[in-house]
Chain A
Amino acid sequence: MAGYSHSVGSVTYRFDDLKTLLARATPLRSGDELAGINARTAEERVAAQMALAQLPLCVFLNETVIPYEDDEVTRLIVDTHDAAAFAPIAHLTVGDFRNWLLSEQAGVATLSAIAPGLTPEMAAAVSKLMRIQDLIAVARKCRVVTRFRSTVGLPGRLSTRLQPNHPTDDPAGIAASIVDGLLLSSGDAVIGINPASDSATAVGHLLRLLEAIRLRYNIPTQSCVLAHVTTQLDALNQGAPVDLVFQSIGGTELTNRSFGIDLALLREARQAALELGRNPASRQVMYFETGQGSSLSAEAHHGVDQQTCEARAYAAARAFDPFLVNTVVGFIGPEYLYDGKQIVRAGLEDHFCGKLLGLPMGCDVCYTNHAEADEDDMDALLTLLAAAGVNYVMGVPGADDIMLNYQSTSFHDALYVRRLLGLKPAPEFEAWLETHPLPEMKEVIPLLTA
């Protein structure tokens, strides 16, 4: 492979291979600078985007960014590629693909039909040419609906994950946050706890607490405790009520190894949850979280830019027909996404790429205190994502996660954006809110000791 080049005026820019071209074409972000793979000048970046625009999509089927022999995520991408689904767009370049995505031709059904024919690198490539309005306009046309006890992703709906974390996993503390969230119409995607303690016993306790509250109030939602997948499996084998199995995943085999997982383990976990069959009517039992920068952080990026690595994580996710997937876009810190501008763009890229690849994308709209970002940036991203049709966002009391020490979106934030854009919660949850008495803490307390 001789590489790629593009001339601008008298200067010819050369790019050694596909991953270098993708990295140079990526809009500025601190993680790619940290990795030393970003464009060296603003002009080089646009030259790379121009070269990328002229690249036929079928090149991505012949040149991998990480070798097939070295990486099981690459093997998954190549081995599961659907040539028939790809056929209608096989003649397009990346630039033409952008035009096509924005055209009337690319409707809801067509976009669903081509999704299995797209590789994550194609999705990442076209996103690099796009402005924010393109990322929003096309994502809004993608529809990915998933079902467990509630239905998430329907048009005109915005769901939330109620995230009632507590620094010591105190049951009453967690229950108080759940009650507060339910009173503010949060929790229709999932009630999901990040546990402070990663033990099967602790996970089992928390799952039984969630189950008691859900059954007592007949809430049409599902629960999850976001421990390591092996801990959840242990809890499941000990009889814990595991609705959804959670795991953080990345876009390279090495990243996943740094998380202590591989694809076989995820298959095993999905099988266990299906066999438990908490909702026999649903086969969507997985919940994945991702985020740009995880591969670089694990020194597992192979010189691939962080946004392309992220899109590859979605290719891993879609092999497991997940109920929920969300990017945790600002959690990782300013060395990967420096400021509000970078976080906002990354959140919209992730949502777009995930949806285009056929995933039920949500987003943890969030930031840390060492990033150049604040609640205004989160308001902007939340509003843009809701306009783009995001399936769900987080609901954290007052936006302040007292366990993970970062700021996400609040119950109030979801109410704001639902009201602003006329969005409703999942239909089952909406009906429940209208017909059932909301929980009171004094009634929940006995459940904690039951």
Chain B
Amino acid sequence: MSSASSLRDFTSARVSLGCAGSSLPTGPLLDFRLAHARARDAVHTPLDIRSIRTELSESAAGLESIPVRSEVRNRTEYLRRPDRGRRLSAEDQATLAARAGDFEIVPVIADGLSAMAVHRHAAPVLGLAMRDWYASDFRVAPVIVAEGARVAIGDDIGAALGAKLSVVLIGERPGLSSPDSLGIYLTWQPRRGRSDAERNCISNVRPEGLSYEAAAALLVFLCRESLRRGLSGTGLKASLSQVTAAGSAARALP
């Protein structure tokens, strides 16, 4: 097994773990369990709406935010009923309709499957994008902070506010080595019933994956192109190799 010790130089997979009998030794057994525990915590950590809103309002841009909920009442229901997580609650439909305006972009921060990802990465990435949007004089709606939300809640939100483009920053399904991966989804003319193929996705946003700067640059580019060409999804994806249409992603949306 002398060569085995070098296998780890080539992959982040769990190779060369050794054996206790034919089973896993205690060290790697507990390493795995810790990684799973972190991923589980990421799934079940509640969205800290107050601190996100504070972070936004105290940011350089002093961003206004509006908290909303989906139709989901608790985390268990969230996991069992993705359909309810896609719909904005009736009460918040009314709240947002009252704030409807001539917006080009509505940013949405949504918990998805990892509030941990949102707590760590959403405000910084959005802050970078905002700088460009303001410099470009885009009409940007208040930031919507959505709890119990799936990607498609951006459709209800965008429709209620009358925005041309929704940008949903959402916690992705946690992997064992990535409990805090943020995804960003763009949808042109958001409204209920949009298919995943009509969205663009920037995924794996976190320091160990796609950096804040790179993610924000992609987001800004995609938003500008989407607004200019009046579309999103597969039609838009061809222009940039790192960006994929959500519909072609290998796994399901959060």
Interface residues of A, Cβ cutoff 8 Å to B: 30, 33-34, 164-166, 170, 172-177, 179-180, 183-184, 196, 297, 332-335, 338, 368-370, 374-375, 397-400, 402, 404-407, 410, 412, 415-416, 418-419, 440-442
Contacts and interface: CB of A to CB of B under 8 A. Distances in A.
The 9 closest A-B pairs by CB, nearest first: A398-B14, A405-B175, A415-B22, A173-B11, A176-B10, A369-B39, A440-B3, A180-B15, A397-B13
Given A176-B11, A400-B14, A405-B251, A375 B36 contact: yes
A370 B113 contact: yes
Given A166-B11, A179-B7, A375 B32 contact: yes
B7 A180 contact: yes
Nearest to A163: B13
A370 B173 contact: yes
Interface in B1-40: 1, 3-4, 6-17, 19, 21-24, 28, 32-33, 35-36, 39-40
A344 to B, nearest CB: 18
18 contacts: A34-B83, A164-B13, A174-B11, A176-B10, A176-B13, A177-B15, A183-B4, A334-B79, A369-B42, A369-B43, A397-B14, A398-B28, A400-B14, A402-B177, A405-B176, A412-B17, A415-B19, A418-B22
A165 B12 CA distance: 11
Contacts of B252: 297, 332-333
A195 B241 CA distance: 17
Contacts of A174: 11
Given A33-B80, A172-B10, A397-B11, 20 more contacts: A170-B11, A179-B4, A180-B4, A180-B15, A335-B82, A369-B175, A369-B179, A370-B79, A374-B36, A398-B14, A400-B13, A402-B175, A404-B250, A405-B178, A407-B176, A410-B14, A410-B24, A416-B23, A441-B3, A442-B6
Nearest to B10: A176
B148 interface: no
B174 interface: yes
Interface residues of B, number: 45
Contacts of B1: 183
A175 B39 CA distance: 27
B81 interface: yes
Contacts of B22: 412, 415-416, 418-419
Contact of A368 (B12, B17, B173): B173
A189 to B, nearest CB: 19
Given A176-B13, A180-B15, A404-B250, A369 B40 contact: yes
A164 B3 CA distance: 18
A180 B16 contact: yes
Contacts of A370: 43, 79, 113, 173-174
A415 B16 CA distance: 15
B222 to A, nearest CB: 21
A400 B11 contact: no
Nearest to A418: B22
Contacts of A165: 13
A234 B43 CA distance: 39
A412 B23 contact: yes
Interface string B39-81: 1101100000000000000000000000000000000000111
Nearest to B12: A402
A133 to B, nearest CB: 26
Contact of B80 (A30, A180, A416, A440): A30
A360 B219 CA distance: 46
A237 B24 CA distance: 42
Given A176-B7, A335-B81, A412 B19 contact: yes
Contacts of A338: 79-80
Given A369-B176, A370-B43, A405-B176, A177 B3 contact: no
Contacts of B7: 176-177, 179-180, 441
Nearest to B83: A34
Contact of A405 (B8, B14, B173): B173
Contacts of A183: 1, 4
A177 B33 CA distance: 21
A175 B13 CA distance: 11
Nearest to B181: A405
A398 B12 CA distance: 11
A442 to B, nearest CB: 6
Contacts of A332: 252
Nearest to B42: A369
Contacts of B176: 369, 400, 402, 405, 407
B18 to A, nearest CB: 10
A400 B28 CA distance: 12
Given A297-B252, A335-B81, A176 B3 contact: no
B171 to A, nearest CB: 11
B181 to A, nearest CB: 9
A334 B79 CA distance: 6
Contacts of B10: 170, 172-173, 175-176, 441
A238 B43 CA distance: 44
A407 B175 CA distance: 9
A98 B83 CA distance: 37
A173 B17 CA distance: 16
A201 to B, nearest CB: 14
B175 A415 contact: no
A442 B80 contact: no
